[in-house]
Amino acid sequence: MIRQLKTRWSDGISETPLSEYPRPQFQRDSYQNLNGYWKCAFTSDDRQPSDFTQTILVPFSPETLLSGVNRTLQPGEYLWYKREFTMVPGFNRGRVLLHFGAIDQIAEVYLNGSLVGKNEGGYYPFSFDVTSYLQETNTLVVKVQDFSDTSYYERGKQKFNRGGIWYTPQSGIWQTVWLESVPQNYLEKVRITPDLANRKLKLDFFKNNDLPVRTEVVLNKRLVASVTTGRDSVFIDFSEVEAWSPENPVLYDLRFTNGDDVVTSYFGFRSFDIRTAKDGRKRFFLNGKPYYLNGLLDQGYWSDGLYTAPTDEALIHDITVCKERGFNALRKHIKIEPARWYYWCDRLGMLVCQDMVNGGTKYSNWTTLASSAFTTSIDDTAKNYKIFARDSEESRQMYYRNLKRMVEHLYNVPSLVLWTPFNEGWGQFDSKKVHDYLLELDNTRVIEPASGWHDQHFGDINSKHIYFKAVNMNKFDDDRLYYLSEFGGYTLKLYDHCFNDKQTFGYKRIKDGVQLNNDLRTLFTRDILNNIDKGLAGSIYTQVSDVEDEVNGLMTFDREVTKVEKDTLIDIVAAIREKYEKL
């Protein structure tokens, strides 16, 4: 039996869900949230329906319990949204921008009967200047198509024939919809690049005017620097700085003034790179010191909202549970989260390893599953595009476009330290070229070129996924950094909190909580602690929570039960830290 599980936050959701400011990395005081109850309709063709017969709670996808719809959008269908709104008095300061956090996969946006824009790609924020379309009362209509895994678009773990490691597909609006008003002259974005080693901050301004920008830097409510410039870039020097880390997540506040436009932001002084430690091994270095990356695989799924967390408090809960158990990193697995998730990682102190979302056509079982058993790495260049489901030129070009969108979207996130462009051969192609392009986009972070099976034997990281058996460090057979980017996945199924009574996926079945906690201690001692001296530099345990058939989480899918106790791994984490302090 398939269960629709509520989380503890479900019943407290307001009629305007997720009403917090959606973009804390670039915040103004002009904000009108359009989340809430909209009308919707499903059609078999692209003609706008005359009647919108259903009600949906935005921003929850129609496939979710929280949406109130509980219906899957099929590849040959269209999903239509409709909402009327008026702006609050005095809201319009000159220009009005309409923002969408993300819509899966293809969207057309109409305001008062006029097409204002289109977007392809289900994981990226986009916006339109709608000033000229506005009326006293406004009708907003959004048309959506979603092909999920039947085309080459990015889709993550979504699959129409769900099961095992593949999950229920979802569609449509799944992040906040909101209005923002700006003056005629305004800042479009600011690129923030801290330099811890040289105690400098570089700011690149993107604006629609020639007016100067005044920048104020505040630490602990004290002004520590200010500068005004008419140039597009500026460097700010500091006599002393305080470094950001998971143990000390100190953030500097920023205030930008460009004419009448005022924007607030923040940053952290943090460095993260790969160096050779005193033992001659390659290690991750955080703020100039060896640092073991002790992470969890985080797929960002919720039993009642799928991709969309029910509340802001739910995001905080997951990060806090992981920190309390000694983990300092989350590998955000083939999903891009709303901006507030990254904000809470910045604020609470949690490193982020960010995957690019996988795409491509139908995957070959040999490429994505069977080859792992034989540790065979397949060449991912042009001769094997078809094997990797990337024989479509448009698919490859779309990947590059959206890789750039992801980097530009998340560049200013202090907690984000590592990019992973490909996972386990799912739509992998030309990983050397992709690595080099990603390095051009962002040379401030570490790149793991291919996580898991199809290593192309270049770059700084030797990445392995090892399940079912003990870690054999002899498999890490070169001079790169050794990174166990997936392992574990121990399965404990709690039937009162499981999605699927009949199907269970995991890598070792556990009978009860006592065995789980004991076996985790054994696993982390054998595979992690005992391999630190052999060069292991980081690890990602699978996973934060159960997801549908997968019941290998620290928590159940509904977050009601945390299966791993707070103190289970704390002394092992302390022993790892002690080893690293000697490097």
DSSP 102: -
Is 145 a domain residue? yes
Beta-carbon count within 10 A of 282 CB: 20
Q: Would you say residue 52 has pLDDT above 70?
A: yes
Instruction: Please state, in angstroms and rounded to a whole number, the distance separating the CA atoms of residues 513 and 563.
Output: 6
Question: Helix or strand or coil: residue 375?
Answer: coil
Instruction: Please state, in angstroms and rounded to a whole number, the distance separating the CA atoms of residues 9 and 558.
Output: 10
Is 69 a domain residue? yes
Measured in residues, the chain has a length of: 583
Instruction: Please state, in angstroms and rounded to a whole number, the distance separating the CA atoms of residues 104 and 280.
Output: 46
What's residue 374's pLDDT? 58
- Specify whether 236 is located in the same domain as 319: no
Amino acid at 371: S
Whether residue 420 contacts residue 333, with contact meaning beta carbons closer than 8 Å, is answered with: no
What's residue 124's pLDDT? 98
DSSP 418: E
Which residues 6+ apart lie within 8 Å of 276 measured at CB? 282, 283
What's residue 373's pLDDT? 56
Instruction: Please state, in angstroms and rounded to a whole number, the distance separating the CA atoms of residues 368 and 451.
Output: 12
Number of domains in the chain: 3
- Partners of 255 in the β-ladder: 216, 264
Distance of CA 146 to CAs 37, 48, 62, 74, 149, Å? Answer: 21, 17, 12, 7, 9
- Both tokens of residue 105? 């996969």
CATH number at residue 323: 3.20.20.80
Question: Helix or strand or coil: residue 405?
Answer: helix
Instruction: Please state, in angstroms and rounded to a whole number, the distance separating the CA atoms of residues 245 and 536.
Output: 21
Is 4 a domain residue? no
Q: Would you say residue 533 has pLDDT above 80?
A: yes
Is 1 a domain residue? no
Instruction: Please state, in angstroms and rounded to a whole number, the distance separating the CA atoms of residues 331 and 448.
Output: 12
Whether residue 300 contacts residue 345, with contact meaning beta carbons closer than 8 Å, is answered with: no
- Specify whether 106 is located in the same domain as 198: no
- Which pLDDT tens digit goes with each residue over 99-131? 999 999 999 999 999 999 999 999 999 999 999
Computed over every residue of the chain, the mean pLDDT equals 96
Instruction: Please state, in angstroms and rounded to a whole number, the distance separating the CA atoms of residues 61 and 72.
Output: 9
What's residue 123's pLDDT? 99
- Torsions phi, psi of 520, nearest 5? -65, -40
Last residue of a domain, one of 154, 182, 210: 182
Is 5 a domain residue? no
Distance of CA 81 to CAs 180, 338, 475, Å? Answer: 20, 21, 52
- Both tokens of residue 94? 């000159």
Strand order in the sheet with 481-488: 446-447, 416-420, 351-355, 329-332, 293-298, 536-542, 481-488, 461-466
- Specify whether 211 is located in the same domain as 346: no
Better-scored residue on pLDDT, 244 or 501: 244
What's residue 368's pLDDT? 66
CA count, 13 A, side-chain hemisphere, 303: 25
- Specify whether 300 is located in the same domain as 211: no
Instruction: Please state, in angstroms and rounded to a whole number, the distance separating the CA atoms of residues 475 and 534.
Output: 12
Which residues 6+ apart lie within 8 Å of 386 measured at CB? none
Q: For the chain, give the percent of residues with pLDDT over 70.
A: 98
Last residue of a domain, one of 210, 242, 267: 267
Is 116 a domain residue? yes
3-state secondary structure 257-275: EECCEEEEEEECECCEEEE
- Specify whether 203 is located in the same domain as 157: no
- Specify whether 288 is located in the same domain as 401: yes
- Which pLDDT tens digit goes with each residue over 325-376? 999 999 999 999 999 999 999 999 999 999 999 999 999 877 666 555 555 7
Question: Helix or strand or coil: residue 407?
Answer: helix
Beta-carbon count within 10 A of 583 CB: 16
Amino acid at 383: K
Instruction: Please state, in angstroms and rounded to a whole number, the distance separating the CA atoms of residues 219 and 241.
Output: 10
Is 172 a domain residue? yes
Is 326 a domain residue? yes
Q: What is the mean pLDDT of residues 557-567?
A: 98
Nearest CA to 167 out of 505, 542, 395 is that of 505
pLDDT-based confidence at 474, cuts 50/70/90?
confident
The predicted model scores a pTM of 0.97
Beta-carbon count within 10 A of 343 CB: 24
Q: Computed from CA positions of residues 359, 363, 369, 370, in that sequence, does the dihedral angle turn out positive or negative?
A: negative
Distance of CA 75 to CAs 171, 537, 572, Å? Answer: 10, 43, 48
- Specify whether 524 is located in the same domain as 538: yes
Instruction: Please state, in angstroms and rounded to a whole number, the distance separating the CA atoms of residues 235 and 201.
Output: 6
Amino acid at 562: T
CATH number at residue 240: 2.60.40.10
- Specify whether 328 is located in the same domain as 438: yes
- Specify whether 93 is located in the same domain as 25: yes
What's residue 372's pLDDT? 56
What's residue 369's pLDDT? 64
Q: Which residue has the tokens 């943090």?
A: 270
- Both tokens of residue 267? 């940053």
DSSP 206-243: EESS---EEEEEEETTEEEEEEEESSSEEEEE-S---B
- Specify whether 281 is located in the same domain as 358: yes
Amino acid at 466: I
What's residue 364's pLDDT? 82
SS3 content of the chain, % helix, strand, coil (to 5): 20, 35, 50
Instruction: Please state, in angstroms and rounded to a whole number, the distance separating the CA atoms of residues 256 and 450.
Output: 38
Last residue of a domain, one of 166, 182, 198: 182
Instruction: Please state, in angstroms and rounded to a whole number, the distance separating the CA atoms of residues 123 and 337.
Output: 8
Q: End-to-end distance of the chain based on CA atoms, in angstroms?
A: 52
CATH number at residue 104: 2.60.120.260
β-pairing verdict for 282-286 and 289-290:
antiparallel
Inter-axis angle of helices 393-410 and 431-441, nearest 10: 30
- Specify whether 316 is located in the same domain as 447: yes
Which residues 6+ apart lie within 8 Å of 243 measured at CB? 196, 250, 268, 269, 270, 271, 287
- Which pLDDT tens digit goes with each residue over 417-468? 999 999 999 999 999 999 999 999 999 999 999 998 899 999 999 999 999 9
Q: Which residue has the tokens 């000159």?
A: 94
- Specify whether 240 is located in the same domain as 358: no
What's residue 458's pLDDT? 94
Domain that holds residue 58: 10-182
